Amino acid sequence: MSETKPRRPTKSKTSAPTARPKKTAAKGAAPPKAARKSPVRVKPKAAKAGKGRGLVDVVLAALEDMKALNVTVLDVRELTTVTDTIIIASGTSDRHVKSLATSVTQKSAEAGFRALGREGERDGEWVLVDLQDAIVHLMLPRVREFYGLEKLWDVRSGDRT
């Protein structure tokens, strides 16, 4: 005689699921969590303790750690609504430019600033890191010289025609 295992009780397919009563929000109450937009910038734990640094400081520290060349910071708040700051730096090779982008992204994330996107990593000649309040352009020196972003965005230069 063969022994059979006892069966587990299964849920009946005919029984209707129990409906939860809907919660109604009071007038002027905050929208439900699903309707709220998730914040782009998350406050870092260090900032709550008073040790936080701004996004530009975090990016500059990451570039300095990775030995970026010719770092330029441009304040473009008066020129565009897309971003507040443009940071331009050069790398010695395509690998160096890629590692600069990785370092900027990681250090920013550790400080609580999420990168919205990174472009150009496949070639590594010009990598753009979008941090919303700051856009970081990492380039090879020949590419940087060719496009001349500093001249394009710098309001102090008198060659604007």
* Domain-wise residue ranges, the chain: 54-152
Closest C-alpha to 151, from 90, 89, 71, 74: 74
Closest C-alpha to 71, from 52, 56, 55, 53: 56
Residue 34's pLDDT is: 44
Question: What does pTM read for this prediction?
Answer: 0.64
Residue 141's pLDDT is: 94
Residue 103: which residues within 8 A CB-CB, separation 6 or more?
Answer: 62, 63, 65, 66
For residue 48, which phi and psi values (nearest 5 degrees)? Answer: -65, -30
Q: Report the distance separating Cα 116 and Cα 108, nearest Å.
A: 11
Bigger pLDDT: 43 vs 24:
24
Q: How confident is the model at residue 151 (pLDDT cuts 50, 70, 90)?
A: confident
CATH architecture of 54-152: 2-Layer Sandwich (3.30)
Residue 3's pLDDT is: 61
What is the per-residue pLDDT across 34-88, written as a single tens digit (0 to 9) for each?
Answer: 443 333 333 333 333 333 469 999 999 999 999 999 999 988 888 888 888 999 9
Residue 110's pLDDT is: 92
Count of CB atoms situated within 10 Å of the CB of 29: 8
